[in-house]
Amino acid sequence: MRNLAIFLFSLLPAVAMADTLRMAVTTSFHNSGLSDILLPAVEEDTGITVQLLVVGTGQALRLGRAGDVDAVLVHARAAEEAFVGTGHATHRREIMYNDFVLIGPAEDPADIAGAESAADALRRIATSGAVFVSRGDESGTHQKELELWFAAGLAPDGFGPAYRSVGAGMGATLNTASGMNAYLLADRASWLNFGNKGDLALLYAGDPALFNQYAYLPVNPARHPHVPADLTERLENWLAGPRAKTLIDGYMLNGEPLFTHNARN
């Protein structure tokens, strides 16, 4: 019995490995598959092993606030600026962007394919009374969606049963929408990588309002002394650097480029 216990504990990986960073990233970033390309390169160039926690932007920022991660990579500008403003991160560094897309039933009952703007598309969905599924989890995607409703002059609270807030991640929300054949807002990467599309199709994209900026925020070591500031800085410099630019700009999914590197040096 004792030997068994010793054996089991010996299997536990060392808790604090040298040069390990914990970074909370959004589902959309992880679902794109880009992290599988970037992380090995990070390790190769900087010697840093990055452990990813894949959560919504809201939770990612909360993890950073509690000091449970060392850095976050998210996409919700207002929330990020508030995060820096309250001193939880030392600064915000824009790294890259991709875009959001509007997904819906292939037959498109609300005819959003012909919309003039993202806001117009949402107005058409609201008018048609078609079902819309919302993340409802304070993620970056959710915050972008609320921004778009606001821009369209609509308040989703008043939509009644046609507006379904599921409080779930991108994948679960896509599964729900697929099951109900409903409209939703998704990031392009998650959509392209999603394996259960059913009758759903990409119906509207391209409005600059759907622009999706990712930013890197290192957690403030003044608040959480255990955060390895030298590592978070090394990672930031790498992400903003030339190898990251090549990898990010060159990353293709289904033959389409997905991200544009736009870090300023």
**By the criterion CB under 8 A, which residues form the site for other proteins?**
1, 4-5, 8-9, 11-13, 15-16, 22, 27, 31, 51-54, 65-68, 169-172, 174-175, 178, 193-197, 224, 226
| Distance in Å, CB of 196 to other proteins, minimum | 3
Closest to other proteins by CB, 74 or 170: 170
Closest to other proteins by CB, 23 or 148: 23
| Distance in Å, CB of 84 to other proteins, minimum | 19
Closest to other proteins by CB, 15 or 78: 15
| Distance in Å, CB of 27 to other proteins, minimum | 7
Closest to other proteins by CB, 174 or 239: 174
Q: Are strands 20-26 and 49-55 parallel, antiparallel or unpaired?
A: parallel
| Distance in Å, CB of 226 to other proteins, minimum | 7
Q: How many CB atoms lie within 10 A of CB 25?
A: 24
| Distance in Å, CB of 158 to other proteins, minimum | 30
Closest to other proteins by CB, 33 or 241: 33
Burial of 53 (0-12, 13-18, 19+ CB in 10 A): middle
Residue 173 has phi, psi (to 5 degrees) of -70, -40
Contact 56, 142 (CB under 8 A): yes
Question: Distance (Å, rounded) from C-alpha 35 to C-alpha 209?
Answer: 25
| Distance in Å, CB of 117 to other proteins, minimum | 29
Closest to other proteins by CB, 16 or 78: 16
